[in-house]
Structure 1
Amino acid sequence: MAKAKFDAAILNSEDKYRSKIFPNTSAGFLQFLDWLAKHNALGAHLCMETTGIYGRDLANFLVQKQLLVSVVNPAQIHAFGKTELNRAKTDKADARLIARYCRMHRPAPWAPPAEEIATLQALVQRLEDLLGLRMMENSRLEAATGPARESVEAVLQFIEQQIEMVRLQIQIHIDQHPGLKSQKELLSSIPGIGDNTAATLLAFLSPVERFHSAKQVVAYAGLNPRIRQSGQWAGKSPIAKTGNALLRKALYLPAVVAKHHNPIARRQLS
């Protein structure tokens, strides 16, 4: 998936491929649908990588057409490619690799988030972008002088206004949805969980019912340790980082607070 186009590959029962490039637009989605129909592949298991905004519209389109589609973490596809000792790295080759992965592993079907969750995700992501812009402008402010400094200060003032506005929009959005509001109240009752952290957790963990244990949440966020050990040698065990980066960031400070002030968490984190 790319901003302007996407590469598709059909893998049939005879291990033969059909490949084609389509525009990443509404018209391109219809062309892709016609192409699938032409090759009797409307009943196929479709699979695509998680590519943020570039693939979101296509995934939603396919689900609306009641096609079976899975959205897979690119790290899984990359690891699968290593098992095949792949040397080629092109969009066409990647599309065929995803097709082989899908046929072998049959990943779970993807379902789009509920509308209120999708809206919350967009607001939380926008807030994170604004916070990043504020940090960059604050760094520029340290070196700015004269008219340049006045310009940076004006931009910072505007960014601060936008941050407050988006935070208010997040609060209003959560309050307007009873399910989100009740879950936020539960999260906020945990020491170390503030409004911003609660909003991020709601945005990227909902629906929480899909997780059956804390370990599943840890793995989903990419916070599980990646153990490196061979024979008598044992390397450091960094976290896997295969999940949502915003989710990991949101959980970091609450973990620090819990380690210092919650005796149960202190024993678990020590």
Structure 2
Amino acid sequence: MPAFLGIDVAKDTLAVALLGPKSPRKTSVPNTPAGYARLVQWLTNQHVSDVTVCLEATGTYSDDVALALHDAHYRVFLVNPARIAAYAKSQLARTKTDPADAVLIARYAHAEAASLTPYSPPDPALRELRGLVRHLDALQLQRQAELNRQAAGGHPSAVAEALAAHIAFLDKQIAETLRQISDHLEGHPELGKQHELLQSIVGIGSITASRILAEAGDLTRFRDARAVAAYAGLTPRQYSSGTSVQRRTRLSKIGNASLRRALFFPAIVAKQHNPVLQAFCARLAERGLAPKAIVGAAMRKLLQLAYGVLASGRPFDAALGLAHMTPKRA
């Protein structure tokens, strides 16, 4: 009889519940490589041959355990947290603890297994690029925090010197990480080609192109540009009820938050300098869309252009993009 393993993922621990022929069996392990090995051994000791694993997609906290269980030959479902939350509401779940959430996730997998897509790990070259890009982002956040402290002033000389030294150290680390990203792209010709194609789009520079590849992976695996936008949580979400409740359309934000962050400032730049985005955003402004909604739409359009150049294998062509936007005459 098949069994379903639900994992509630936290930064430091994994709460685990196994649903099978017997009552739920539970355990907890560290969210570390050693913890993953303990989990695999625990599963082996349960003497259940057919186990399906389900956990929420929570970025860096879930990526490693999903990969470890996939490599251990388990079928893994990495599910959008919003789907689990919706299932919890449908089940009128009232208890909110890590073990209870693990049981809920296992039950969700049991109920929805036929409709879920099994997890497929990213290419090792993409995994390494993602690690480098996320390390770069962390370093840049640290640098900005230290710059903010430095700008606040009023520090004793020893503290001011320490801040300056730390910023200089971070500058060197950032430069070294950028060099490693460049070397990695050069060492993987297909990734390097995609990186170059993305930079042909006005508004997407080298770092943004690296972030898109790192967070979205191979965009051509999606069936169309709309599916890419949905993956990033950039599709519009309408809210209306009857004739009296009409709220402003917003981004769904059910998707890859890191990818959305990577597109925010590039979309603002592209809105000003990319002819296709200029025309697109001007039309939205004429229709009365709010500035924030226009920026969100520009992010979606920019990602769709990225999908287009990678799917076609051809650099961005503004004239072609504008031609596709021109309404056809009757």
1:163 corresponds, among 146, 158, 174, to: 174
CA distance in 2, matches of 1:122, 1:102: 29
3-state secondary structure, aligned to 1:86: coil
1:138 aligns with 2:163: no
Pick from 170, 179, 186: which aligns with 2:190? Answer: 179
> In the alignment, which of 211, 215, 221 is matched to residue 226 of structure 2?
215
| 1:9 to 2:11 alignment | no
- Per-residue deviation, 1:79: 2.0
User: Following superposition of structure 1 onto structure 2, how do residues 225-240 of structure 1 map, counting pairs within 5 Å?
Assistant: 225-232=236-243, 233-240=245-252
Instruction: Give the C-alpha shift of residue 34 in structure 1.
Output: 4.1
Classify 1:261/1:100 alpha carbon distance in 2 versus 1 (closer, same or farther; 3 Å): same
User: Which of 122, 128, 131 in structure 2 is aligned with 1:122?
Assistant: 131
1:88 aligns with 2:95: yes
Report the Cα distance in structure 2 between the residues aligned to 1:265 and 1:208, rounded to whole angstroms: 20
Does the CA contact (< 8 Å) of 1:188 and 1:194 recur in 2? yes
- Report how many residues are paired: 269
Query: Which position in structure 2 is the counterpart of 1:197?
Result: 208
Aligned equivalent of 1:206, options 210, 217, 229: 217
Taking a change above 3 Å as real, the CA distance of residues 166 and 26 of structure 1, as seen in their structure-2 partners, is closer
Residue among 44, 55, 65 paired with 1:48: 55
For the Cα contact (< 8 Å) 2:239–2:246, is it kept in 1?
yes
For 1:259 and 1:22, how far apart are their aligned partners in 2?
47
1:261 to 263, 273, 278: 273
Normalised by the length of structure 2, the TM-score is 0.75
Shift of 1:251: 1.4
Whichever residue aligns with residue 66 of structure 1, its letter is: H
Partner of 2:289: none
Q: Against the structure 1 CA distance between its residues 252 and 56, is the aligned structure 2 distance closer, same or farther, given a 3 Å change threshold?
A: closer
Pair 1:25–1:257, CA change in 2 (3 A)? closer
Gaps of 5+ in 1: none
CA distance in 2 between partners of 1:194 and 1:74 (Å): 31
Deviations for 1:2-38, whole angstroms, at most 9, x for unmatched residues? 3443222122368x42222334455544443344344
**Alignment root-mean-square deviation, CA:** 2.1
Cα deviation, residue 75, structure 1? 2.3
Alpha-carbon spacing, 1:227–1:34, altered in 2? closer, same or farther (3 Å): same
For 1:117, the aligned partner's letter is L
Q: Please give the alpha-carbon distance, in whole angstroms, between the structure 1 residues aligned to 2:117 and 2:242.
A: 35
Distance 2:34 2:146 in 1: 40
Q: Are the aligned partners of 1:42 and 1:67 in contact in 2 as well (CA < 8 Å)?
A: no
Describe the superposition over 1:116-166 as per-residue Cα deviations: whole angstroms up to 9, x where unpaired: 111110111111111111111111112223412222222111111111111
Partners of 2:59 and 2:16 in 1: CA distance: 18
Q: Distance in 1 between matches of 2:141 and 2:33?
A: 32
| Greater displacement, 47-56 / 96-105 | 47-56
Moved more, 146-155 or 160-169: 146-155
- Partners of 1:130 and 1:163 within 8 A in 2: yes
After alignment, is 238-247 or 161-170 more displaced?
A: 238-247
Q: Per the alignment, in what secondary structure is the counterpart of residue 238 of structure 1? A: strand
Q: From 36, 39, 48, give the equivalent of 1:32.
A: 39
- Would you say 1:97 and 2:104 are equivalent positions? yes
In the TM superposition, what whole-angstrom CA distance separates every residue of 1:173-232 from its partner, at most 9, and x where no partner exists? 111100111101111111111000000011112222211211111111111222221122
Match of 1:70 in 2: 77
Indicate how the Cα distance of structure 1 residues 250 and 3 shifts in structure 2: closer, same or farther if over 3 A, else same. closer
Identity of aligned residues (%): 39
With the length of structure 1 as denominator, give the TM-score of the two structures: 0.90
Aligned counterparts of 1:239 and 1:10: Cα–Cα separation in 2: 36
- Mean CA deviation greater in 92-101 or 37-46: 37-46
Does residue 108 (structure 1) correspond to residue 117 (structure 2)? The answer is yes
| Structure 1 residue matching 2:251: 3-state secondary structure | coil
Quick check: 1:36–1:42 contact (8 Å CA) kept in 2?
A: no
Residue 252 in 1 paired to residue 264 in 2? yes
Distance, in Å, in 2 between the alignment partners of 1:249 and 1:3 is 21
Asked whether the equivalents of residues 203 and 274 of structure 2 are also in contact (C-alpha less than 8 Å), the reply is no
Aligned partner letter, 1:113 = P
Displacement, 1:100? 1.2
